Amino acid sequence: MAEAHQAVAFQFTVTREGIDLRLSHQAFTEIYLSGVRSWKKRIIGLKNSVVTGVYPASPSSWLFVVIAILATMYTRSDPSMGLIAKIQENLPVSQSMSNQCQTLVSALLFSTMLWLLLIFTMRMCLKQLLSYHRWMFEKHGKMSTTTKVWVALVRIFSGRKPLLYSYQGSLPNLPVPAIKDTVKRHLESVRPLMDDTEFERMTQLASEFESKLGNRLQWYLKLKALWATNYVSDWWEEYVYLRGRSPIMVNSNYYGMDFMYVTPTPIQAARAGNSLHAHFLYRRKLNKEELRPLMMRSAVPCCSYQFEQMFATCRIPGRLTDTVQHWQDSDYIAVYHNGRYFRLRMYQAGRLLSPREIETQIQRILDDPSAPSTGEAKLGALTAGDRIPWAEARMKYFSSGVNKRSLDCIEKAAFFVSLDDEEQGVIADDPASLDAYAKSLLHGKCYDRWFDKSFTVIFYKNGKMGVNGEHSWADAPVLSHLWQQTLSTDCFQLGYNAEGHCKGEVDSSLPPPQKLSWEISPECEEQISQSLAVAQALADDVDIHVFAYQEFGKGRIKKCRVSPDAFIQMVLQLAYYRDQRRFCLTYEASMTRLFKEGRTETVRSCSNESSAFVRALENGEPSHVCRHLFQEASEKHQNLYRLAMTGSGIDRHLFCLYVVSKYLGVESPFLKEVLSEPWRLSTSQSPMHVEMFDIVNHPEYVSCGGGFGPVADDGYGVSYSFMGDNILNFHISCKHSCPETDAHKFGDQIRTALQDLLQLLSPIRTECHRAEGGGPDVKKHL
């Protein structure tokens, strides 16, 4: 029980001579330094709150306004037009204050009110400027005069050196689209999926909804938009993420990979040392708000509110709905290894442990010979199974005593770490190694991750690592920013010595990591076994294929004067049609972070234009016809993407109308059918922050991105990313239980479609085709 003794500041025993009191100097020192660190964080938070609260002005601008007002008064002028005198008349002052002193106080009060008014005016002007979105619909490289003026005004009103949350008060609210626009766009999106009879029936349902119930629901939604910061986000988080009762493993959580071709060190503990230190360096910047807010076109800020719950956050299971719990601070991490859970403090004497010290602590865990407690080894399976049994087990078995203390330790940790006893990553002579790596990151053994934590970092035996993220607290781009910053810091800033160990010295007085204790009853063990069986069946059913396509990348696509994202979406439409011989409702995730508390919107990539292009290509139409149809399809897709980003998407609006209808207790056949449409092809582009890496000089330091599980039982999940100008990464998932889907087969279709579209669009190929007098130059694939 050495760990327990270290946790108390004093001990005493009662003897015949009296009470023998023994104080622990080390414990009191730790308490004092912890308090100092906490107060420093509060002071920094208070300072940042002031700086952010007055943005786009600065606190020092108050002094400038005061001096300007006093200087004007010194010249016998009244800049307040009598307001200073009015303030002086109504100023509650003591008899001892002189008239000159009263005038000075009144001038200070007037200056402060004027300063706050100027801040409010600047913020409202910036908010109106940020509501302008025409710039997004202009062709790349062709900026209108209006947009040029707008950019200049945005930069003038944006101030200097913004903190992470500086723009939050200036971001516009997400607008509610018109009913008729949403219904019209929905009908356009389903037209290629329906025959004439089905489409006529859907048109009739839509018309009836628009003319009757839709206006009533829209009124309530507009009322919410006036009252709430964002009319979508809270309902989206609750009903899409937190109220789901099925396992979040595979169905909701996602993963991110390590470098594809490089393993900085083969030593597991050393890799953990650098990486964990880098995570806490990132958290330090986050707490100080030193991270730059994401900017589009270097001028337009995106919402940063999702960063607030990155660390010390956990999803808590409930019978009806889960909740997301966030704690303000946590100076330790929870670590799982070989069936045991440990608490590892990341600070000693008020300072962050060095990478070498963290490596030493991790090695202590790896070398610990102790056996797991009864029922401890597979305890994490509770977070991988159905939510209701986990909620009931948590209430029954983990609400008091040692189990509650240990569970609190995991849930309140900064994040969760899993030390895996397997080797994963890219193996040169084994193409399937990436697939196994992805499956391990997505679900592991179903009990060696804590899927409720905001994120779990996994370290493998051979030095590879990865991350598994919980989805309700934030979207993938937010965690991706942390992950890629960590990879960059690990290799390019911290580094390793010649033996592969972390750099630095070790404090010999570091207390060992604390092993958590559990008292798991046989009934609880039975529930763990049941949850593990559910999770294992789900994990075994997942089919994943990951590959890096190196024939060409974003640079070659841009030379064809095509949006890279639109190009890939057309590739996926072509590949899916060849794989299934039909079109399907396609989901592409886009962000709405141009608005306050914005999260995501859906781009329906399967359109009339894309299906016309695919049919023409498959029917052997001449190349110039196919190219023309491709241009129309890609322009349509780009327009849909822009509409989604600027608040004019389809699905979030319809979703919120459906929620309102449920609150009112009314049924809508149109909304019911729309919300039940399956997404058989769910896609997402993984954001890559290439500015964090030197891809030109170190092209081997590229990540393989990340992926997610299939959304529909009979569909595909596809994540793709552009690594620099020459590599495309694809993560494809589906289910073995569906005989119509095969991740590897679909991957082959994607490879073929990539080559076919490049041949179709290549300028050299076009010139050769014209010289030869036409004719199709892309083969038909059955």
Q: Which residues are catalytic?
A: 471
CB contact at 8 A, 462 and 424: yes
Q: What does residue 720 show for φ and ψ, rounded to 5 degrees?
A: -140, 155
- 275 in helix, strand or coil? helix
Rounded to the nearest 5 degrees, what angle is found at the Cα of 520, between the Cα atoms of 519 and 521? 115
Question: For the residues of 528-569, what is the DSSP string, one character each?
Answer: HHHHHHHHHHHHHHEEEEEEEE-S--HHHHHHTT--HHHHHH
Number of continuous H segments (helices) and E segments (strands) in the chain: 25, 22
Is cis: bond before 522, omega within 30 of 0? Answer: no
CB contact at 8 A, 650 and 185: yes
- CA dist 614 to 188, 262, 611, 631, 637, Å? 17, 39, 5, 12, 14
463: left (phi over 0), alpha (psi -120 to 50) or beta: left
Determine the distance from the C-alpha atom of residue 512 to the mean position of all C-alpha atoms in its chain, rounded to a whole number: 34
Q: Give alpha helix (H) positions in 592-622.
A: 608-618
CB contact at 8 A, 108 and 120: no
Q: Which residues of 310-346 are buried (b: 16+ CB within 10 A; e: fewer)?
A: bbbbbbebbeeebebeeeeebbbbbbbbbbbbbbbeb
d(CA 682, CA 713): 12
d(CA 233, CA 174): 10
How do beta strands 347-348 and 340-345 pair? Answer: unpaired
Non-local (6+) Cβ contacts of 763 within 8 A are 559, 560
Non-local (6+) Cβ contacts of 612 within 8 A are 629, 632, 633
Residue with structure tokens 């060696």?
Answer: 448
Quick one: three-class SS letters along 94-120?
Answer: CCCCCHHHHHHHHHHHHHHHHHHHHHH
CB contact at 8 A, 458 and 441: yes
Question: For the residues of 125-177, what is the DSSP string, one character each?
Answer: HHHHHHT--GGGGSPTT---HHHHHHHHHHHHHT-SS--TTTTGGGSPPPPPP
d(CA 465, CA 447): 18
d(CA 751, CA 571): 9
- 13 in helix, strand or coil? strand
- 145 CB-side CA count, 13 A: 0
Residue with structure tokens 């995730």?
Answer: 589
